[in-house]
């Protein structure tokens, strides 16, 4: 059985003091969670929020990282910097990073590789646009993203990757794929992994749904066989709502 994982992506929200308040309010609400609980604050919040959640069952994640160890990359953050802050997870290849900051499948692959090498757990994102879904190419497109993103990894490494399927048309729009649509596409992702890395890796890897999962629809989405968790946006900024998702 794969252990479910619910991760909150705060995006560019919450100052350090606001982040501490949010984390402090969240901790007692999810203390008895049966799933892995992860929060991913902005970089400037990591120290303060990390201290606030120390000793709790909440894991700390970052929203991005660079693939270089160090160097002239103004404004970037390395894996070693995250590790020293006790970060355990890192989101890689979110559609907003791809859309606004020129992330490619190749840079995603470099970041996933480095994250694993440094002992971080990557949450690798993939997903199609509305135009691609309407054109009937969702399966091929998403499979291609997964294949390129995991290129060069061993089956053992892939088992430690979390994949987030996030249809771009359902992020921050209030729209969501039906539970059947989400389950079917995640099933395609799992079959892609089985083809590339074997049935064991496919059975082990956890695949989240990341398209506007919230307190109202989490139960039905999490009831589906292929869906192992959620990458949560807006609902992650409200402790009570996020806790309801965690306790789906």
Is 237 buried (19+), middle (13-18) or exposed (0-12) by CB count in 10 A? middle
List the catalytic residue out of 96, 128, 166, 226.
Answer: 166
Let me know if 166 is a catalytic residue.
yes
DSSP classification of residue 229: E
In the three-class reduction of DSSP (H, G, I as helix; E, B as strand; rest coil), residue 21 is classed as: helix
CB 207 within 8 A of CB 189: yes
Could you confirm whether 94 is annotated as catalytic?
A: yes
Q: What are 74's strand-pairing partners?
A: none
CA angle 138-223-120, nearest 5°? 70
State the Cα–Cα distance between residues 222 and 230, nearest whole angstrom.
8
State the catalytic residue, choosing from 94, 96, 103, 159. Answer: 94
Close Cβ partners of 15 (under 8 Å, ≥ 6 residues apart):
44, 45
- Reported as half-sphere exposure (CB side, CA atoms, 13 A), residue 149 has a value of 31
Q: Which residues are catalytic?
A: 94, 166
């Amino acid at each position: 059985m794969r252990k479910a994982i619910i991760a909150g992506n705060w995006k560019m929200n919450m100052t350090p003091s606001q982040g501490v308040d949010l984390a402090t309010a969240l901790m007692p609400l999810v203390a008895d969670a049966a799933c892995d609980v992860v929060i991913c604050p902005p970089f400037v919040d990591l120290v303060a929020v990390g201290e606030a959640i120390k000793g709790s069952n909440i894991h700390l994640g970052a929203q991005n990282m660079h693939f270089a160890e160090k160097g002239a990359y103004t404004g970037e953050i390395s894996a070693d910097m995250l590790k020293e802050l006790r970060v355990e997870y890192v989101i890689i290849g979110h559609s907003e990073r791809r859309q606004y900051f020129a992330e490619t499948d190749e840079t995603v692959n470099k970041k996933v590789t480095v994250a694993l090498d440094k002992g971080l757990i990557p949450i690798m994102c993939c997903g199609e646009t509305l135009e691609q879904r309407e054109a009937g190419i969702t399966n091929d497109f998403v499979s291609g993203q997964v294949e390129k993103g995991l290129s060069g990894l061993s089956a053992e490494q892939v088992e430690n990757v979390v994949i987030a399927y996030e249809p771009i048309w359902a992020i921050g729009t209030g729209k969501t794929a039906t539970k059947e649509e989400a389950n079917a596409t995640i099933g395609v992702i799992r079959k892609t992994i089985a083809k590339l890395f074997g049935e064991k890796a496919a059975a082990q890897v956890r695949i989240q749904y990341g398209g506007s999962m919230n307190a109202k629809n989490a139960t039905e989405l999490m009831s589906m066989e292929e869906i192992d968790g959620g990458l949560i946006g807006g609902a992650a900024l409200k402790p009570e709502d996020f806790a309801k998702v965690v306790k789906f």
